[in-house]
Amino acid sequence: MSILITPETKIIIQGITGEFGARHARLSLDYGTQVAGGVTPGKGGQTFEHAGKSVPIYNSVKDAVEATGATVSVIFVPPPFAADAILECVDAEVDLAVAITEGIPVRDMVRVKRAMAGSKTRLVGPNCPGLVSPGEGEDSKGGCRIGIAPGYIHKKGHVGVVSRSGTLTYEAVYQLTVKDIGQSTCVGIGGDPVNGTSHLDVIKLFNEDPDTHGIILIGEIGGNAEVEAARWIKENCTKPVAGFIAGATAPPGRRMGHAGAIVGGAEDTAEAKIKVFKECGIEVAVTPSDMADALLRSAKAKGVTLS
Amino acid sequence: MNIHEYQAKKLFEEYGIPCPKGAATSSSDEFESCIDTLGEGLVVVKSQIHAGGRGKGTFTDGFKGGVKLAKTKEEAIEYANKMLGNTLVTIQTGESGRKVQTVYFTEGADIKKEYYLAILLDRATSRPVIVASTEGGMDIETVAEETPDRIFKVFIDPAYGLADFQLRELVTKLGLTKLESKNAAKLIRNLYTMFWEKDADMIEINPLITTESEEVMALDAKVSFDSNALYRHPEIQDLRDLNEEDPKEIEASKFDLSYIALDGSIACLVNGAGLAMSTMDIIQHFGGSPANFLDVGGGASKGQVIAAFKIILGDPNVKGIFVNIFGGIMDCDVIANGIVDAVKEVGLELPLVVRLEGNNVVAGRKTLDSSGLTIVTGDSMADAAQKIANLVA
C-alpha cells in the first residue's frame, strides 16, 4: 500500500493543453498512471493524444469528475488563475488537489486555505513537485505519478519521503533506490509559506500506513512546520525517521529561492530545527548525501527492516 | 519587493494613516525647497536606503548617523549634504554599506510615547497577524525575548476581515487614552486595508507614536510587497529602486536565475532551491565557503548556464565553481554539452567540479570527460563538494 494515491488512482490534469501540463501528462502516461481526463475551459470535447492513448478534455473539473470518476486533480495552470483552479476542485469534491504552480500570490492562498476549511478536499502544494507511489514495473513503472518528479528514480518499497523541495526529494529517493531500498509514497508539499498539506499531516499518514516502515523528513529554513512534525514524532511515532534541514549557510532575511525559505527569527534557523530533530529522536543527516544512510542508522537502531 | 520610507509614507497618506509631513529629493538643489514645504520647527533628515538601523549607522567617511535631528534649516541642509551620495553602513547593510541616493526631510514630532506596530503573515495559522507592543523604538526581537507580555497579537480571519472588537481589545491592551484609542483604531484599520489591498508582505511601523495632543502617527515605515502579486499592482512595481539591488541579482533575474551573493570563494550552480541551499551547506561542511546561492530552476539550458557562469565570474572572490545538477527529467547529456559550451565560451580558468545525476547520466559524464577541458567530475554531492573544497583550499 501507499498513502494518498495508489497505482489504481484515477487523475485529471487541469491545464493539460498548456506546454508544461502537456509535457508532464505525457510522462505520467508513460509511467503508467491512470490519466483519466484533462480540463481546459473552452476545449471540452477535444482529446489529448499520446503514444496511442487518448485522454478526453473537459470544460470543467465537475464535468471531468462526473465523466471519469477521477478522485485526484493536478493543477498546472498559471499563477493568476491557480487559486480559482484549486477552488474548482473543492467545488467538485475531489479527494486530493495537487497544485504544481509556482508563484501564486500569498493573499490568494490565504483566502483559498480559509475557503477550504471543512471541505472534503485535501490540497498538496502549491509550488510543489507532486507525489509518486512507485509501481512494480521496470523503472518503477505502473505506479501513480502526479506532478513533475522523474518516475524512473523510484522503486516500489516501504520508505515514505516528505519534503518541501523538488530536487532535494529526488536526491533522497535516488539515494534509497541505488541502495535497493524502495519507497511507499514520496510527497513534495511545496516551498510556499502558505500550503495545503503540512509535514505533520504527511507524517501522520505515513505513521498509520502499515506498508511504510521508515520515513525521511526533509525540511528547510523558515516557519516552524518541521519542528511541529518533530515534536509529534517524538510522542507518537515508533517508526525510524531520518531528517535533513537545508539552509544552514543561508543569511538571515534573504529568501533562498522558495518564497517560504527565509530565516525570520531565532526559531526558524537550520541550527534550531536540527536541535529539535535530535531532541525528538530523529536521526539527522549530516550532509544531503547522508539522507538514506541516516535512515539506515535509525532503522538499525530500532531493529526495523526497510526493504 | 522593498520600497523606501518616503514611498511608504506616500502610500500611508493615500490610506489615511497619519505621519509627519515630509518631502524627499535626490538633488541637493532641492534641499531648501523641500524643507520650505514643512512647518516651522525641528527638521528630521533621513537617509533613504533599503536597510534598517539607519539612525545608529556610520557613513564610510566617518560621519555618524543616517538619521539626524536639525534645529534650523541651515543645519538640516548641512546634514543632507553629508548624507547624499555618501555610503551608509548599518547592522543590516553589511560592511560595504549602501549609497544614499535620496534624502527625506520630515517635520519633528512631539512624542509622548513610542509603540510598535506591524502586519504580516502568520505562517502557522495561514492568516494575517497584527503585532503591537507598548515597547516602541526598540528591536522587536529583543522585546519578544525580554518582555513577551508586552507584545500583543491579533489574528485576522481572511473571510471576515479585521473585526471591531479585536481593535477595541488591542487598543485597550496598549493602555491608550480615549481619544488616542479612537485615533489608533482608525489608523490600524486603514493600515490593514492597505496591507490587504496592496498585497503587502509586511508593514512595520517602529515607532508608532502618540503626541501630547493625543494624536497617533507613524514616525517610520518599512513596507515590502509579495513579488508574486506585483503583476496586479503596476503602481507598486513603479516604486522599485534598482539602485538598491545587487546588479548581479538583477542580471540573473533576466535569465530566470535566482541568485544571491554571499561572501565565500566557491561559487555554485544548482537546479532547484532546496538542492541549491544544501549545496551551500555541504560546501561549508567540507571546509569551503559558498560564494552564492544560484538556482537555475527545473531546467539548466545552455543559455542559462552561460549567463550563470558570467555572473559567477563577475565576483572577484570566486576561486572555484561547483555545478550540481540533478537532471530528473532533463537529459544529463544535453546539460553536459551546455556546460562544455559555456566553459569554452567564457574561457573558464578556475577549477570546476561537476556533479551530474539523473536521466542519461552515463553519456553526460562521458561528454564532460572527453571534452578536453579540465572538468573534475564527482560521483555524489559529498564527493564533489570535497573535491572543490580541496581544489580551492
Q: Do A203 and A78 belong together in one domain?
A: no
Residue B365 in contact with residue B333, Cβ under 8 Å? no
Q: What's the CATH superfamily of B111-237? A: ATP-grasp fold, B domain (3.30.470.20)
- pLDDT value at residue B299: 66
ipTM exceeding cut-off 0.95 for this assembly: no
- pLDDT value at residue A257: 80
Residue A229 maps to a domain: yes
Minimum mean pLDDT among A67-81, A189-203, A216-230, B356-370: which range? B356-370
Average pLDDT value for residue range A61-88:
98
Is B193 an interface residue toward A (CB < 8 Å)? no
pLDDT at A298 over 90: yes
**Topology given in CATH for the domain delimited by B247-392:** Rossmann fold (3.40.50)
Is A74 an interface residue toward B (CB < 8 Å)? no
B165: closest CA of chain A, how far (Å): 21
DSSP state of A164: S
Q: Do A162 and A284 belong together in one domain?
A: yes
Report the run of H or E that residue B283 belongs to, with start and end. Answer: helix B273-285
- Domain ranges in chain B are 19-107, 111-237, 247-392
Tell me the pLDDT of chain B averaged across its residues.
Answer: 94
CATH of the domain at A66: 3.40.50.720
Residue A217 in contact with residue A298, Cβ under 8 Å? no
Residue A139 maps to a domain: no
- pLDDT value at residue B209: 98
Residue A5 maps to a domain: no
Last residue within a domain, chosen from A124, A144, A171: A124
Nearest CA in chain A to B230: A105
Residue A171 in contact with residue B275, Cβ under 8 Å? yes
Q: Do A191 and A233 belong together in one domain?
A: yes
Is A176 an interface residue toward B (CB < 8 Å)? no
A257: closest CA of chain B, how far (Å): 5
Tell me the pLDDT of chain A averaged across its residues.
Answer: 95
- pLDDT value at residue B95: 83
Residue B183 in contact with residue B216, Cβ under 8 Å? yes
Contact B199 A106 (CB under 8 A): yes
Whole-model pTM: value is 0.94
Average pLDDT value for residue range B62-74:
96
Average pLDDT value for residue range B361-376:
90
Q: Do A119 and A203 belong together in one domain?
A: no
pLDDT at A264 over 80: no
What are the grid coordinates assigned to A110, written together?
A: 490565504
Average pLDDT value for residue range A12-31:
96
Contact A220 B274 (CB under 8 A): yes
Give B350's pLDDT tier (boundaries 50, 70, 90): very high
Q: Which domain holds residue A249?
A: 155-302
Q: Compute the half-sphere exposure of residue A19: CA atoms within 13 Å on the CB side of its CA.
A: 0
Residue A125 in contact with residue A189, Cβ under 8 Å? yes
CATH of the domain at A253: 3.40.50.261
Task: Give A183-217 pLDDT, tens digit per residue.
Answer: 999 999 999 999 999 999 999 999 999 999 999 99
Q: How many domains does chain A have?
A: 2
CB atoms within 10 A of CB B243: 14
Q: Do A48 and A180 belong together in one domain?
A: no
- pLDDT value at residue B144: 86
pLDDT at B152 over 70: yes
- pLDDT value at residue A105: 97
Query: Order of strands, edge to edge, in the sheet holding B352-358?
Result: B258-261, B292-295, B266-270, B320-327, B352-358, B375-377
Q: Do A172 and A278 belong together in one domain?
A: yes
| B275 closest CB neighbour out of A106, A168, A194 | A168
Q: For residues B236 and B239, what is the distance between their CA atoms, to the nearest angstrom?
A: 5
Give, to the nearest 10 degrees, the angle between helix A225-236 and helix A270-279. 10
- pLDDT value at residue A307: 79
Q: Do A159 and A285 belong together in one domain?
A: yes
Residue A128 in contact with residue A24, Cβ under 8 Å? no
Minimum mean pLDDT among B87-101, B121-135, B163-177: which range? B87-101
**Topology given in CATH for the domain delimited by B19-107:** Dna Ligase; domain 1 (3.30.1490)
| Comparison of pLDDT for B164 and B143, the residue scoring more | B164
Task: Give A132-174 pLDDT, tens digit per residue.
Answer: 999 999 999 999 999 999 999 999 999 999 999 989 999 999 9
Average pLDDT value for residue range B152-166:
97
Task: Give B283-335 pLDDT, tens digit per residue.
Answer: 999 999 999 999 988 667 788 888 999 999 889 999 999 999 998 777 888 88
- pLDDT value at residue B393: 86
- pLDDT value at residue B145: 85
Average pLDDT value for residue range B270-288:
95
**Nearby residues of B92 by Cβ (< 8 Å), 6 or more positions away:** A253, B51, B52, B53
Task: Give A41-58 pLDDT, tens digit per residue.
Answer: 999 999 999 999 999 999
Sign of CA dihedral A80, A81, A86, A91: positive
Task: Give B165-218 pLDDT, tens digit per residue.
Answer: 999 999 999 999 999 999 999 999 999 999 999 999 999 999 999 999 999 999
pLDDT at B92 over 90: no
Average pLDDT value for residue range B369-382:
91
Is B127 an interface residue toward A (CB < 8 Å)? yes
- pLDDT value at residue A1: 72
Is A174 an interface residue toward B (CB < 8 Å)? yes
Please pick, among B116, B135, B192, B259, the residue that the annotation labels catalytic. B116
